[in-house]
């Protein structure tokens, strides 16, 4: 950090977070940068001014819904619906976590108030079921209503399309995931298609709320901060999906699971997935992709990989098949031993620690 409080060597910090995560004491400050609430090149004074401005803005928006009378709310069906959904979801979000357990818990009140205020921030979207799952870990880490709100706003900028009525973001991601899986293991993809599971709808929850209900609360903190580094490629969460599916491929195929069995099996993975193993496996897959001599253009675009040898896509799939032949027969075969990069603890987040002083 320089004398004005600017973070130096951002790439190195992101690499370190990707490889080892963050100590919990650093998350409160680091997540503000990772989520884009604080610009990486901002000075300490600029951040203080930003927080003051955002605090004022937050409480102005909060006052908007707080000051609505019962009579006014009776004439505003959308606000009533938002409030009803929020109250239902808040009462069942992470209630086993000490931060949210018990009745009249301050954490629950903050969760409710932040989500209601978000409805004022983006009234068109308002509240959609699942958004409380995205806010809960952020509020837990921030322990501050205003900072949690603006970090949540930044996160929702990434996730907004997942919750829109047309759900275009979800449709796009499922198509992208299918494209990646077909390159990685066309045989497994064909099996899933034969069982009416080729659209990968059983991965819907993974994508909608970024694995929030698949891993323990502490593992989610680790997983999300890794994804927020945007390393080693864009849409890394899709490779995490591929890594999980590859881990379950043998059981699904050997036991000849059909549509219902596949759905049941995937749902029952919740809280049973080893986060470090999956992170390593997904990173290994990304490295295999990057080292592939030729990639279909669609895959390069999904992962944001610059490849001068990309193979244009075609309707009959011949070009894509040629590209796959330039890679290992199955990319999965070469990732059975994950690279050891996404584990351990980082020793390179000292600059983050200094921002707290």
> Any idea what the CATH number is for the domain that residue 139 is in?
1.10.8.270
Rounded Cα distance between 222 and 233, Å, is 17
pLDDT: is 299 or 346 the higher one?
A: 299
φ and ψ at residue 313, rounded to 5 degrees: -75, 155
Residues 159 and 178 reside in one and the same domain: no
122 lies in some domain? yes
Q: Confirm if 27 and 225 have CB atoms less than 8 A apart.
A: yes
Torsion of CA 194, 199, 205, 209, to 10 degrees: 150
Residues 115 and 228 reside in one and the same domain: no
Last residue of a domain, one of 164, 183, 202: 164
Residues 172 and 258 reside in one and the same domain: yes
336 has a pLDDT exceeding 50:
no
33 lies in some domain? yes
What average pLDDT is seen over the chain? 89
What share of the chain in percent tops pLDDT 70?
86
What domain range includes position 73?
24-164
194 lies in some domain? yes
Q: Confirm if 299 and 180 have CB atoms less than 8 A apart.
A: yes
Long-range contacts of 99-106 (CB under 8 A, 24+ apart): 99/139, 99/140, 100/136, 100/140
Last residue of a domain, one of 134, 164, 194: 164
Summarize pLDDT for 126-161 with one digit per residue, the tens: 999 999 999 999 999 999 999 999 999 999 999 999
pLDDT at 339: 37
pTM score of the predicted model: 0.88
Summarize pLDDT for 182-191 with one digit per residue, the tens: 999 999 999 9
Summarize pLDDT for 244-280 with one digit per residue, the tens: 999 999 999 999 999 999 999 999 999 999 999 999 9
pLDDT at 293: 83
Task: Place 312 in a pLDDT band, splitting at 50, 70 and 90.
Answer: low
The number of folded domains in the chain is 2
DSSP string, 153-185: HHHHHHHHHHHSTT-HHHHHHHHHHHHHHHHH-
pLDDT at 353: 52
Summarize pLDDT for 101-123 with one digit per residue, the tens: 988 899 999 999 999 999 999 99
Residues 159 and 39 reside in one and the same domain: yes
Mean of pLDDT values over 231-256:
98
The lowest-confidence range among 128-137, 207-216, 229-238, 322-331 is: 322-331
pLDDT at 345: 46
């Amino acid at each position: 950090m320089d004398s004005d409080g600017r973070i130096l060597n951002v790439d190195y910090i992101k690499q370190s977070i990707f490889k080892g995560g963050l100590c919990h004491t650093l998350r409160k400050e680091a997540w503000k940068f990772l989520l884009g609430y604080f610009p990486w090149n901002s000075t300490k004074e600029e951040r203080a001014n930003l927080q003051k401005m955002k605090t004022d803005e937050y409480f102005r928006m909060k006052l908007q819904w707080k000051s609505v009378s019962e009579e006014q709310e009776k004439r505003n069906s959308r606000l009533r619906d938002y409030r009803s959904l929020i109250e239902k979801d808040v009462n069942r979000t992470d209630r086993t976590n000490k931060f949210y357990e018990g009745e009249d818990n301050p954490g629950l009140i903050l969760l409710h108030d932040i989500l209601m205020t978000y409805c004022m921030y983006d009234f068109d979207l308002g509240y959609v079921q699942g958004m409380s799952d995205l806010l809960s870990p952020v509020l837990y880490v921030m322990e501050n209503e205003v900072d949690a709100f603006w970090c949540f706003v930044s996160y929702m900028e990434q996730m907004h399309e997942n919750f829109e009525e047309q759900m275009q973001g979800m449709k796009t991601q499922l198509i992208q995931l299918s494209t990646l899986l077909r390159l990685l293991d066309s045989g497994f993809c064909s099996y899933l298609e034969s069982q009416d599971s080729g659209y990968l709808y059983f991965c819907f929850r993974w994508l909608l709320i970024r694995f929030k209900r698949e891993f323990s609360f502490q593992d989610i903190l680790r997983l999300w901060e890794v994804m927020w580094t945007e390393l080693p490629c864009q849409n890394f969460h899709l490779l995490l999906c591929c890594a999980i599916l590859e881990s379950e491929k043998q059981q699904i195929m050997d036991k000849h699971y059909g549509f219902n069995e596949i759905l049941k099996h995937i749902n029952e993975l919740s809280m049973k997935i080893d986060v470090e193993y999956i992170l390593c496996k997904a990173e290994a897959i990304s490295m295999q992709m990057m080292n592939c001599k030729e990639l279909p253009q669609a895959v390069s675009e999904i992962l944001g990989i610059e490849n001068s040898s990309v193979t244009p896509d075609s309707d009959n799939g011949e070009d894509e098949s040629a590209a796959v032949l330039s890679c290992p027969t199955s990319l999965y075969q070469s990732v059975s031993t994950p690279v050891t990069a996404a584990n351990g603890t980082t020793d390179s987040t000292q600059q983050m620690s200094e921002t707290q002083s």
